[in-house]
Chain A
Amino acid sequence: MLPWNYGLHWTLGTMVFLGAFYTVLVVVATTLVSAVVRSRRSLRAGGADGLRWRSDFHDLAARDRACRHQLTGELECRECPNGFDCRQCDTHRAILEQRPAPEPGARSVEDFGMTFPLDRLYHRGHTWVRRERNGTVTVGLDDLGRVLVGKPDSVDLPRKGHRLRLHATAWRMRKGRAGLSVVSPVAGIVVETGGPDQPWYLKVRPEQADLRHLLEGIEVRPWLAREMERLQRALMAAGAAPQPVDGQATLASLAASCPEECREAVCGAMFLRP
């Protein structure tokens, strides 16, 4: 093995064996060091949030990665390839061009005991975004999120001037022993903070005016129906008794069936932050 080892003769076999062995050691060590170096570089560049979202999205069940146009029935079957960021998606652009202009009518969607006003845009992690006249956007927790969490014991909001990244953690909440994170629906600078006692949590000056990645209008109702199914599955995985998902089942009754010790897991699954 080693040149000073008693009885070592440098034959072809010895050289091949030692060469192979040392090559393996070098490859393993180099790969490991490379992973460490790349991790440090990624951390310094602030890539942890992006990675977390990509990893969380990748870990979602295939049916939960369904494209928004599959939910509306515009496409038969499609898995979102963009991590729910439709701004660069050609399919989304093409479908929007063909979609008829919305007819004035309902101002909100009311289903399962929840109200979703249609003057807002919705993120699939259960936050809403409303454009304001002064160019900022207001961010809040939608009805499903609010009922599921109830009144949080404490909220950890970002400071004014904090730069939010899309799909990074927007704010954290604590309810009982459960620690919950809410995914940011927009990227931008926080200009004002609200909280659970107000109807909104953050006012943000967005980096981009393009908010096409958020759900709107006709997409809200089918998305909501799908979310109720997802909630059922999350509750069943947490050990809650199954309940029928139909007009009879309200969100409040479902949320009440959630065991206290499973709140973190269920909310984590629904907020896309397991």
Chain B
Amino acid sequence: MDRRFIPTGVARCSTSRFLMWLALWAALLAFGLYSAGLCLVEGLNQTHMNNRFAFGLWIFLDLTVIALGAGAFFTGFLLYILKRKELRGVINSAVVIGLMCYGGAMAVLGVDVGQPLRAWFTFWYPNVHSMLTEVTFCISCYLTVLLIEYLPIVLKNRKLRQVPHFLVFEHELHNLVYVFAGVGTFLSFFHQGSLGGLYGVLRGRPFAFREELGIWPTTFFLFILSAAAVGPSFILLTTWLVQKLARKPLVRPAVFESLGRISGLLLAAYVLLKTVDTIVWLRRTTPRSGFLPAQYYAWKPFGIWLLFVEIALFLVPMAILLIPKLRARTAWLVPAAAMACCGVALNRFVLTIQTLALPTLSFDRFVYYLPSWQETGTFLAVVAAGVLVYSISFRYFVLFPEEREL
């Protein structure tokens, strides 16, 4: 039925099978939209957040998907600015993943902040003393850039490109894509940093507070580096997953190898800086705040094991991705990429949830937080929307230009 919209030279499943797949995720999306609607209409009393736990599942999700979505800007940077031509095979997929991640993050932020009719206040009357202002501005700008980058992918659809206006506009936009890649890199660097800086400046939360380098806390730089390191791993992981679902190769093995190597090198740099940062934090920053490092890990379930798991989730994939023999084998490469992604998710979880759960004053207590079903539903809506957008894009647009040749 929809064959004429599918790119030539590629095989896709039947329309009925595709619709069944979509229906599954659409049902989840509907449930999520209902949950989000409840939060918007009834207010944040639908969640388990409170004045103490102002950040919950949603902010954790935002930080994680934005870090994972960094693959979009970093792949664009490597391809268009540093001319790593082999990444041409995954750039379209990276743009769609970036769009899903950033679009999802913006949507969840919208529910979290509430009052959608006053959303424009953020831009018109921003709090110039807040790091969130930098985050809001950069994310909205970058989402716009991603939408512009996504446009040529859509306009290149077999039927749409038969319209001369679309064909020419797509061509001209594609010719200027390096400008958007440069702007995207600039914006993404800044807001990844701002998100990290957001925690690093929490002087009242010694678990998150970090020393400054220039005008920014160290978390500013660590967030940039970890996102740049994990972004290519996430692109690698999703490409492999789509290959498995589509049951056919979509990119050349060299692309996986290249993504793995880049991720490994950046993970090494991150591990090095994170080690220095952790030592300074334990030996200098924490004692100055009147705490013993052991106090941070005295509360169950956030024991010291969490710190070791986080270290392992960065160290092990780094080692695998840096060894060419291991990197060359999918059985090592893919789990390593998955571990790196889990590592960054755990890092964001620790900074969001553990930071807020820990007591900071003598009369304070450890606070437990479990998300409500409405929060979880909204979270699932982002996942479902992402899968839907990606599935439709994969079917009707050319996400992997090398697919036809493999």
Chain A residues at the B interface, C-beta cutoff of 8 Å: 1-2, 5-9, 13-14, 17, 20-21, 24-25, 27-28, 31-32, 34-36, 38-39, 42-43, 47-48, 51-52, 55, 59, 61-63, 177, 233-234, 236-239, 261-262, 264-265, 268-269, 274
CB B143 to nearest CB in A, in angstroms, measures: 11
Contact between A47 and B128, CB atoms less than 8 A apart: no
State the 7 A-B residue pairs at the shortest beta-carbon distance, nearest first.
Answer: A48-B164, A274-B8, A61-B405, A1-B126, A35-B172, A39-B169, A38-B172
Contact between A237 and B10, CB atoms less than 8 A apart: yes
Chain B residues positioned under 8 Å from A239 (CB to CB)? 11
Contact between B9 and A234, CB atoms less than 8 A apart: yes
A264 to B3, CA, bound (A): 9
Contact between A51 and B167, CB atoms less than 8 A apart: yes
Query: Residue A8 contacts which of B4, B128, B145, B404 (CB distance < 8 angstroms)?
Result: B128
Contact of A43 with B123 at beta-carbon distance under 8 Å, contacts A8-B128, A35-B176 already known: no
Contact between B9 and A39, CB atoms less than 8 A apart: no
Chain B residues positioned under 8 Å from A61 (CB to CB)? 9, 404-405
Query: Residue B6 contacts which of A17, A32, A52, A265 (CB distance < 8 angstroms)?
Result: A265
A119 to B349, CA, bound (A): 74
Contact between A43 and B168, CB atoms less than 8 A apart: yes
Contact between A34 and B404, CB atoms less than 8 A apart: no
Contact between B9 and A34, CB atoms less than 8 A apart: no
CB A67 to nearest CB in B, in angstroms, measures: 17
Contact of A47 with B187 at beta-carbon distance under 8 Å, contacts A7-B128, A31-B176, A237-B404 already known: no
Chain A residues positioned under 8 Å from B186 (CB to CB)? 20, 24
Q: Which residue of A lies closest to B401 (CB)?
A: A59
CB B395 to nearest CB in A, in angstroms, measures: 14
Chain A residues positioned under 8 Å from B8 (CB to CB)? 234, 237, 265, 268-269, 274
B85 at the interface (CB under 8 A from A): no
B158 at the interface (CB under 8 A from A): yes
A262 to B124, CA, bound (A): 53
Looking at chain A's contact residues, is the secondary structure mostly helix, strand, loop, or mixed?
helix
B171 at the interface (CB under 8 A from A): yes
Chain B residues positioned under 8 Å from A24 (CB to CB)? 141, 183, 186-187
Contact between A2 and B161, CB atoms less than 8 A apart: no
B33-57 vs A: 1/0 string, CB under 8 Å? Answer: 0000000000000000000000000
Contact between A28 and B134, CB atoms less than 8 A apart: no
Chain B residues positioned under 8 Å from A62 (CB to CB)? 405
| Interchain residue pairs with CB less than 8 A apart (16) | A2-B124, A7-B128, A8-B128, A20-B186, A24-B186, A28-B141, A31-B180, A35-B169, A35-B176, A38-B172, A39-B168, A51-B167, A51-B171, A52-B164, A61-B404, A177-B4
Looking at chain B's contact residues, is the secondary structure mostly helix, strand, loop, or mixed?
helix
Chain A residues positioned under 8 Å from B127 (CB to CB)? 7
Chain A residues positioned under 8 Å from B6 (CB to CB)? 265
B126-164 vs A: 1/0 string, CB under 8 Å? Answer: 111100011001000100110010000000001001001
Chain A residues positioned under 8 Å from B126 (CB to CB)? 1, 5
Query: Residue A28 contacts which of B128, B145, B169 (CB distance < 8 angstroms)?
Result: B145
Chain B residues positioned under 8 Å from A34 (CB to CB)? 172, 176
Q: For residues 172 through 189 of chain B, which have their beta carbon under 8 Å from a beta carbon of chain A?
A: 172-173, 175-176, 179-180, 183, 186-187
7 A-B pairs besides A61-B405, A237-B10 with CB distance below 8 A are A1-B125, A2-B125, A20-B190, A35-B175, A236-B11, A237-B9, A265-B4
Contact between B128 and A269, CB atoms less than 8 A apart: no
Chain B residues positioned under 8 Å from A28 (CB to CB)? 141, 144-145, 148, 180, 183
| B9, B128, B148, B405 pick with most chain A CB within 10 angstroms | B9
Chain A residues positioned under 8 Å from B3 (CB to CB)? 261-262, 264-265
Contact between B404 and A36, CB atoms less than 8 A apart: no
CB B215 to nearest CB in A, in angstroms, measures: 7
Contact between A274 and B9, CB atoms less than 8 A apart: yes
A31 to B144, CA, bound (A): 13
A274 to B4, CA, bound (A): 10
Query: Residue A5 contacts which of B9, B10, B128, B172 (CB distance < 8 angstroms)?
Result: B128
A2 to B126, CA, bound (A): 8
Contact between B9 and A233, CB atoms less than 8 A apart: yes
